Each structure stands twice: as C-alpha cells, then as structure tokens.
Amino acid sequence: MKYRKKPIVIEAVRLTWEMWQEVCEFLGNIISVENPARESTSYSDTCGEEGPPWIELTIPTLEGSHTALHGDWIVKGVKGEFYPVKPDVFKATYEEANDN
C-alpha cells in the first residue's frame, strides 16, 4: 500500500550562529550548561556569546539523542518534540507555509 504524509504546519529554525538567538528561544531548556552548542575544540556558554563558526548541538528526540550540525534544521514535531533534519531532506519535505 502507499501512504501520503498528512499536510501539517511545523515550526523549524536553522542551526547557525546568525540564527542563534532564535534557536535558543525555540529550544528553550534543551540548551543548557550540560548541553551547550559546541565546536570541536571550544564551547559556548549556552545562549550567551556567539561562538565559533561551526556549531553542533545534541537534540533529545523520541528515538534518543541526535546531533544537529551547523546548517541543519531543527524541527518541532506535532507532540512538541524536536529533531534535526539535514538541509536536503528539509528542502525535499517541507515548503514555506502561508499564515492565511
């Protein structure tokens, strides 16, 4: 049998330093001292100062922890859960929604 994904509107933000404030607001307490955004050799202090150009964040999902890398999208699911999505998959799966 074949199935079509139900058309739903999701919230998402791209993981970049330029969007860092929005990422912090979007994820809330997921970003903490125990789970800072990090680069291979240095750490930011959670949602304070902008860090190195490459960013990485561990996202707790319903299937366990997944790593979101710089440029990935972080999507909020229908149950309020978060998960990272690679840019090419995001582009193939989602389109911008009209607020009308």
Instruction: Render pLDDT for 38-96 as a digit per residue (tens, 0 to 9).
Output: 544 444 444 555 555 667 888 888 889 898 888 999 999 888 899 999 999 999 998 88
- Predicted TM-score (pTM) of this structure: 0.74
The answer to the question of residue 5 being in a domain is no
Question: What is the number of domains present in the chain?
Answer: 1
> What was the pLDDT predicted at 70?
86
Longest dimension (CA), the chain: 51
> What was the pLDDT predicted at 47?
57
Average pLDDT over residues 16-29: 84
The answer to the question of residue 32 being in a domain is yes
Give the three-class secondary structure for 52: coil
H helix or E strand, kind and range, residue 24: helix 20-27
Per the structure block, which two tokens stand in for 41?
Answer: 């050799």
The answer to the question of residue 55 being in a domain is yes
The answer to the question of residue 89 being in a domain is no
Q: Which domain holds residue 16?
A: 11-82
The answer to the question of residue 36 being in a domain is yes
